[in-house]
Structure 1
Amino acid sequence: MKLLRFGESGYEKPGIVDDNGDIRSLEGFVEDVTGGMLGAVSLEKLKALDLTTLPLAPKGARIGPCVGKVGKFICIGLNYSDHAAESGMTLPDEPEVFTKATSAICGPDDDIIKPKNSTKMDWEVELALVIGKEAKYVSEAEAEEYIAGYCVCNDVSERAFQLERGSQWDKGKGCDTFGPIGPWLVTSDEVGDPTNLDMWLEVNGKRYQNGSSRTMVFKPAFIVSYLSQFMSLQPGDVISTGTPPGVGLGQKPPVYLNVGDKISLGIEKLSTQNQTVV
């Protein structure tokens, strides 16, 4: 299934994509696409619906973040060996964990706001997973049971804030609009193998990232298991799993985003995002 949220920011309604690619409203069946409805029982009930009987969403409706009321937005850095090399950083022995503020979350096609004093704004196409049930001390073998589905994430970053303003990355990761997620939350059964998905990103029509989740170092199941040793993971938590090479920081010379730039990105089976820097 492809679940989504549509409508004005802060007033999104739950939806689902039918076999023809049309958006159908789930109003009356679920209150919203949040952690509370991502358990196996709830998802099975939605699978049983006859989507042709559901009302169509208004044409041209804004697509919001694919998950609402996110409790934690966790990211894994340097999780592609070739991206670590282009960044001049050593591949970590364990996952490099940081967080993005949940206030950074926005819709997949919303404008990206360049922060005040920003000089090195960058892009990162990433595969994100969404937790479906509470995970505490789970093994890698059972971790996939805790993943409700996957979505596209653009881990927008301000490199000067991230790397030149102290030792913590979070300052360069959590600015408003720095976390577009969606358009769809695609359930795990429809994605299949998450470690074999093509990924790409373009700026102003030029392709900079052209990679695959095949080169991911720490795989989604391992990441869920690993994180659950340090904190409980709640339904609706979003975990973004790293980016392949081709970020602006890694260009020679580096290339950074400016007002007016247009970003397009996508992941196989998970659809695309399109943003403008303002």
Structure 2
Amino acid sequence: MGFIRLFKHHKFLILFCGFIYSFVWFTNKIFEQPSKFDKTVTSYHASISIKNINFIFEYLSKLQINLLLIDPFLLDYLFIHRLPFRKFQKRIITFGITNDSIHIINVLSSEKKFSVTISRSFNNASIDHIFIEYNQQLIHLAILHEKKSYFLIRPTTVHLSIDINLSYGDTARVIELTEKEFIKDQLPFYYPNNVFHFLWLYKRSEFLECNRTLANKMKNQFHIYQNRSQINLVILPMRNINYILNKLEKNYWLAGGTLLGNNLCF
């Protein structure tokens, strides 16, 4: 009886509250379905992506080449955020390979399962990038050209889809020789021994070519590299400073003086 009396006195308020509750419940149900669907679709695409990636890995493993993971996005995903590789999805992944692995291009070009695109230098003298596509999944192999104190990765000369963002090949970049220590765990590729430091170096990896004509002129005029005292006084200390500041992850630059004016290349 008490409830009936309460309902009679407050029936409009009770009905209004019931209406609000029903409206909120119904609205949540409507938006919950797309959310579940999105998760299912994401999971599906992740599964397809990793299957395609693993398929390419299995093929490349037969060619016995060392894949060096240099893709900053995947390095951050695996070793900074500690997320599982089996759930990774990205249309293109970049690896570095050394010049002695370029021979694989002959095998890849004859393989009908893949679409292979090659980027050569402007003078067509060397191969700089290999793009392997399988079911819209791209594995990017950037050739590491070894110089005196760094590996050079040249910019690509091929035009890729506008939805592909390159981490290497977008411009000339370098990987320092001090970073060549790669390790391999349970993953089908090698990765930098110090991922944090490697990612820090990537932010300043863009390579600016010096004026070689002027540098050679100055080198011949002042007999640089032939004078042991000059090497001990200038070049070796600069290399040591470069090594120390890189280890400390400190940005630095030449701000002026004779060395900058001479535009020497080391």
TM range (shorter): under 0.3
| Bigger relative contact order, structure 1 or 2 (CA pairs below 8 A, ≥6 apart) | 1
TM-score by length of 2: 0.23
Task: Give the number of the structure whose residues are more often strand, by fraction.
Answer: 1
